[in-house]
Amino acid sequence: MKNLKKYILPVLLLFAGSVIAQQTPAPQQDRAISIVGATAHVGNGEVIENSVIIFENGKLTTVTDAASTNRQYPGTVIDAKGKHVYPGFIAPNSSLGLVEIDAVVQSDDEDELGELLPHVRSLIAYNAESQVVESMRPNGVLVGQIAPRGGRISGTSSIVQFDAWNWEDAVLKEDDGLHINWPNSVRRGRWWMGEDPGIKPNDDYSKDLQELSSFFKNAKAYLAGPQEKANLPFQAMKTVFNGKKKIYIHADSEKEIIDVLAFKEEHQLENVVLVGAYDAFKVANQIKAANVPVLVGRVHETPQMEDQDYDLPYKLAYLLNREGILVGLETSGDMERMNSRNLPFYAGTVTGYGLSKTDALKMITSNTAKILGVDDSLGTLEAGKDATLFISEGDALDMRTNKVARAFIQGREISLESHQTELAKRYTEKYGQQEKK
């Protein structure tokens, strides 16, 4: 019996691996592809009703109106009349690929022990064969910023594309930014300790801010000195101080946001981005003056406070965009990895609360690309940029018509199959057979 058990486990693991493995990444583009007749949503506010899109060697070469070109299209020609073409959607501030199953500790790599961890890199923990990552592609979400969680300084994020063998193949921009979880200025009463359950000031807020400020000052002093003794956290701050690495500060309340802007000035920080920023509409003028972009928290939420408008999460993007702030949409929160596939529908929701469809589209394409610093290659359908795009049968911001027919990452046509689509086909066939009986 013992010998039998010894052989059963490896066989089961082998079988499980064959079931859960991701679709094989697509090969490199080997011929030109021309998409003709589709409505092209360029991502910068421009819409071309009858377009020609041509790409070779993974790069876009032509994006124009069909009336301005001849009829000789190179390579494989895709007739897309009546369909729509979009740049691949970008999911910022995501933990995709860092956690597969919340209840399985061994599959959770989103957090590390400690509070001040600027040297921790999320990229090396990224699982390119995640089934959850695979499920993003059928909705047009083709790129993501993979960010760590936990601690005061969580570590650095990296930007990846969602069709790869491993993290080395997936990476588009390595260690793009540092993520800081700003201290909470308020807290809820601990009922289990007999405290009033209402919201009250956090007595440790000033102390937490001082600790964060001291870390920045000490890191600067260390980098300015001889550095005789290695200090990995301080060394990791070099690219933060010289502006090469962005600083994503996660903060929500009005007071916290004001303190973030003051912190930026005090430490002369460049490239600061606010993440979440729930109360940002209250201090929009200050945010605009500081030239700080905002990644607005998940749209499909209820208000955080009882006295707030019921639709505040839906219209926050509009309120900030109206003030001239560069805005992108992010999806963190409960079930955030699974919910990231709903990114286009968050953009669709904000169109009902003040924003045009072109402005909403920017918030998951060109605006996000600018905020992440990858707008030279992603975010819009323009010659010279990566051919990362997809063809939808209808409006990609509407869950009723977002039906991705074909998708390409850097010119490679990727599979739109996933574990979920395979199960859908399996049970559709099953119940179809039963109906015939």
Per-residue pLDDT of 365-407, as tens digits, reads 999 999 999 999 999 999 999 999 999 999 999 999 999 999 9
- Strand order across the 412-413 sheet: 47-48, 39-41, 84-87, 389-392, 404-409, 412-413
Q: What was the pLDDT predicted at 435? A: 61
Average pLDDT over residues 39-65: 96
Contact 54, 32 (CB under 8 A): yes
- The first and second tokens of residue 161, run together, are 């594309």
Answer whether residue 214 shows pLDDT above 60.
Answer: yes
Q: How far apart are CA 50 and CA 83, in angstroms?
A: 10
* Structural domain boundaries in the chain: 24-88+379-416, 89-378
Whether the pLDDT of residue 326 is over 50: the answer is yes
Do the domains 24-88+379-416 and 89-378 sit in the same CATH topology, yes or no?
no
Region for residue 227 given its phi and psi (left: phi exceeds 0; alpha: psi -120 to 50; beta: otherwise): left
User: Which residues, in sequence order, are CB contacts of 384 under 8 Å at separation 6+?
Assistant: 59, 60
Half-sphere exposure of 116 (CA within 13 A, CB side): 17
Helix (H) or strand (E) holding 274: strand 272-276
Are 386 and 58 in contact by the 8 Å Cβ rule? The answer is yes
Contact 366, 377 (CB under 8 A): no
The answer, yes or no, to whether residue 351 has pLDDT greater than 70, is yes
Superfamily of 24-88+379-416 according to CATH: Urease, subunit C, domain 1 (2.30.40.10)
DSSP code string of 220-242: HHHHHS---S--HHHHTTHHHHT
The pLDDT tens digits of the residues spanning 241-284 come to 999 999 999 999 999 999 999 999 999 999 999 999 999 999 99
CATH for the 89-378 domain, from 3.20.10.10, 3.40.47.10, 3.20.20.140, 3.40.50.300: 3.20.20.140
Mean per-residue pLDDT, 81-95: 97
Tokens of 435: 């109906």
d(CA 391, CA 43): 14
- The pLDDT of residue 436 is 61
Q: Name the 3-class secondary structure at 306.
A: coil
At a CB cut-off of 8 Å and minimum separation 6, what does 86 contact?
41, 43, 140, 361, 365, 381, 389, 390, 392, 396
- Tokens encoding 229: 């003794």
Residue 101: pLDDT band (50, 70, 90) is: confident
DSSP per-residue codes, 285-303: HHHHHTT--EEEPPSS---
Q: Give just the sign of the alpha carbon dihedral 419, 423, 425, 426.
A: positive
